[in-house]
Amino acid sequence: MKAISQRRRHPLAAFALLMIGLLVTGGLYFAATNLSGASASTTASAEDVEEGGKLFAANCATCHGMNAEGSDAGPSLVGVGAAAVDFQVGTGRMPMQMQGPQAQAKPVQFDEEQIAQLSAYVASLGAGPAIPSEEYLDKGGDSANGGTVFRVNCAMCHNAAAAGGALTRGKFAPTLAGVSEKHIYEAMATGPQNMPVFNDSNITPEEKRDVITFLKEIEAQGSPGGAQLGSLGPVSEGLLVWTAGLAMVIGFTIWITSRSS
């Protein structure tokens, strides 16, 4: 008993306990992260990875490096996951036409098979968010909860009506109208451009599904009140009324003066 008591009082005992605690915590976090990403499809054949590597070398390595390690012209892609590639390439943002504050959406340059191969290759370089499965893209979520999640986390940049908005230094949050369910989910999971990453600990897969349902619902509704005027609310509406009213006053004044002369 005395020997055990002495070992407990050893100067390195506290350090050893701290290291064990950190290892256990890290292991649990790693397991939880992997479980939270289990909602996405991660299967890819060795042939897809090989073909994706060839496509990457021919189209992406100039900026991102031959091993996707990054360069002065582009960031490292190790660990970004298949979802990031599927979003960036699937929306035409990559490859970029030119350098600028942020990548612009444009016509897609690869077909679906090639995008899947590129995604598989980048996913093989390091763990990251995977392409979401169809169960979270069916627009069958809770629209009311999705609206709450969207207004709390997204509306300050994308506008409460998801119409988009300006940011600093030439950057902007794009409109979400017409964006596919898969790309909305991937954007939340990967944080493209200036968008923060909303992993499954911040916004769960079910809540992401709710957000998608909300966005598609307001997109289908259109603007029942008439002209959208940028969906900026009373600001643009007041400006329109003020401008139209001022024009009417000026026109009436010109008509009165012309009559008196």
Spatial separation of the C-alpha atoms in residues 141 and 120, rounded to whole Å: 29
Spatial separation of the C-alpha atoms in residues 156 and 229, rounded to whole Å: 18
CA distances from 126 to 7, 121, 244 (A): 41, 10, 58
Ordered alpha helix ranges (H), the chain? 2-8, 13-36, 46-59, 61-64, 81-90, 112-123, 143-153, 155-158, 181-190, 205-221, 234-260
Residue positions counted in the chain: 261
Count other C-beta atoms under 10 Å from residue 142's C-beta.
16
* 157 belongs to an annotated ligand binding site: yes
* 183 belongs to an annotated ligand binding site: no
* 154 belongs to an annotated ligand binding site: yes
Spatial separation of the C-alpha atoms in residues 192 and 87, rounded to whole Å: 8
Structure tokens at 219: 């997109």
Q: What are phi and psi of 67, to 5 degrees?
A: -110, 20
* 180 belongs to an annotated ligand binding site: no
Annotated binding site for heme c: 60, 63-64, 154, 157-158
Binding residues: 60, 63-64, 154, 157-158
